[in-house]
Amino acid sequence: MKPSAFDYVRPLSLDEAMEQLAIDPFESKVLSGGQSLIPMMNFRLARPERLIDINRVPGLEGIVPGQDRVTIGARTRHLAVQNTGLQGPLGSLLRTAAAQVGHLPIRTRGTFGGSIAHCDAASEWCLVARLLDAEMTVRSTRGERTIPAADFFQAIFTTAMEPDEILTSISLPALDDHHVTGIAEFARRAGDFAIVAATAAVKIEDGVVTRARVCLGGVSEVPWRSQAAESALLGSAWSAGAVAEAAAAAADEVDPPSDSHGDADYRRDLVRALLPRALNTAGAGS
């Protein structure tokens, strides 16, 4: 379990990082928290020849609330997200989600942007990003561009980023207080990647759902926006029964993979069980 040989550089500015990455982009990897990349290298599933360590690059950390969007620096540690004082439904979603990422040592080191760039279909941050139609800002020596979440996550471990691009920040819409948000997941052990995760942001005005976003993890190659659940919820009277119906619709809609942790039917059952838990409707009326 030792990585194959690689070169290591630690640039001190974003420009320098981009230049280093541009030298040999296909054989290089950006090193952020290292909590996914290093295990993959030890398993020899990744064999980069060069690591560009961005941990000394200034300006990549922090959670900055703006007018209608919140911007999160790519290198913001999971733990900093867990401790954010951000108000409102978005803040509470971020804190709840962060607490379920791995274990404390992993959260101390691993980063928000690293998770998004890594693109694991069960990752909390990929789910949240897809749920809220996040926008990813990426830069290279060729310039800067912004990629919407719908285009960003392409396949397992595959994003729309080019190999010479560095993810610098992610922006999420600020959610007003009419929103109910939540995330619930099922893992065999505390700290494991979820077998299935469900996250939702629902806007309720006068007891009626006026906007519904539902995103599921562990049921497809990339985070799955459940249109079935969203349209079931939209326009319905907010109730536990409506959420249960939406969960059932989502479970019917997905076509999940089977592996040693559970077959497709089991994952569908988990979708049915978890979406109501994400929206914490246990106490709500039916």
Ligand X SMILES: Cc1cc2nc3c(=O)[nH]c(=O)nc-3n(C[C@H](O)[C@H](O)[C@H](O)COP(=O)(O)OP(=O)(O)OC[C@H]3O[C@@H](n4cnc5c(N)ncnc54)[C@H](O)[C@@H]3O)c2cc1C
Residue with tokens 């999971």: 78
Using CB under 6 A as the binding criterion, the count of chain residues that bind ligand X stands at: 29
Structure tokens given for 137: 């800002």
1 part of the interface to other proteins, by CB under 8 A = yes
Where are the strands (E) in 174-245, listed by range? 179-186, 196-205, 208-217, 224-225
SS (H, E, C) 126-179: HHHHHHCCCEEEEEECCEEEEEEHHHHEEECCEECCCCCCEEEEEEEECCCCCE
Longest Cα–Cα distance in the chain: 61
- The region of 116-124, 231-239, 251-259, 260-268 touching ligand X under the rule CB under 6 A is 116-124
34 part of the interface to ligand X, by CB under 6 A = yes
Q: Footprint of ligand X on residues 185-244 (CB under 6 A)?
A: 191, 193
Instruction: State the binding string over 55-94 for ligand X (x if CB under 6 A, else -).
Output: -------------------x--------------------
Alpha-carbon distance of 82 to 76, in angstroms, equals: 10
Q: Are 53 and 9 in contact (CB under 8 A)?
A: yes
In the set 112, 152, 186, 224, which binds other proteins (CB under 8 A)? 186
The CB-of-118 to ligand X minimum distance in angstroms stands at 4
30 part of the interface to ligand X, by CB under 6 A = yes
- The region of 114-122, 145-153, 240-248, 258-266 touching ligand X under the rule CB under 6 A is 114-122
Residue 32 binding target from other proteins, ligand X, none, CB below 5 to 8 Å by type: ligand X
Alpha-carbon distance of 223 to 116, in angstroms, equals: 11
* Contact residues for ligand X, defined by CB under 6 A: 29-37, 39, 54, 74, 101-102, 106, 110-111, 113-115, 117-118, 123-125, 166-167, 191, 193
